[in-house]
Amino acid sequence: MKPYWFKSLSPQWRARLMRVGFNLHPAFRATGGRVVLVSPDFQHIRIKLPLLRRTRNIVGSMYGGSLFAVTDGAHPTMLMSALGADHVVWDKAASIRYRKPAYATLYADFRLPPGEIPEIRRILARDHETTRNYTVELKDKEGVVYAVVERTIYIADKTFYKQKNTGGDKCLASPEDDPPS
């Protein structure tokens, strides 16, 4: 939950705080990546993954775990910021395709397509839950793609999600309704 004063800040300051928060979070820091940009509308996040001693594997190229881990959390964070606290957002699935070994600093740009948030709101109004697929490419500064990550994000109304996971309203069954053992 965001502190009450967070909403009173300008969009630029909120974006800066989100960038700093990402970069200070121990799990994200462990990936070796750094958030270098969060747009004021929270629709774009850019991450830099340098080739360092701790991101390098035994043969000197970028460790695959760093490539995969650095993509975790950006889309859910952007969606939570856009949709608000009355929604549940989490990674449901992810996969990575390695194209070539990386021997340089890589960058990943996470973007929400134009019209994505209104479309999600329409689907949630009708179905109360949805999944969205996002693809992120890890590229060098010349734009050469080294890996492609696909993430499936689950989104639901918080009330619906709680009812779904607690069984909703349970009906009372009589003992004679139990199946024979």
Three-state secondary structure string covering the chain? CCCHHHHHCCHHHHHHHHHHHHHHCHHHHCCCCEEEEECCCCCEEEEEECCCHHHECCCCCECHHHHHHCCCCHHHHHHHHHHCCCEEEEEEEEEEEECCCCCCCEEEEEECCCCHHHHHHHHHHHHCEEEEEEEEEEECCCCCEEEEEEEEEEEEEHHHHHHHHHCCCCCCCCHHHCCCC
Domains of the chain by range and CATH?
4-161 (3.10.129.10)
pTM exceeds 0.85 for this model? no
Average pLDDT per 10 consecutive residues for the chain, totaling 181 residues: 65 88 90 94 95 93 94 94 92 96 97 96 96 98 98 95 75 45 45
pLDDT of residue 13: 86
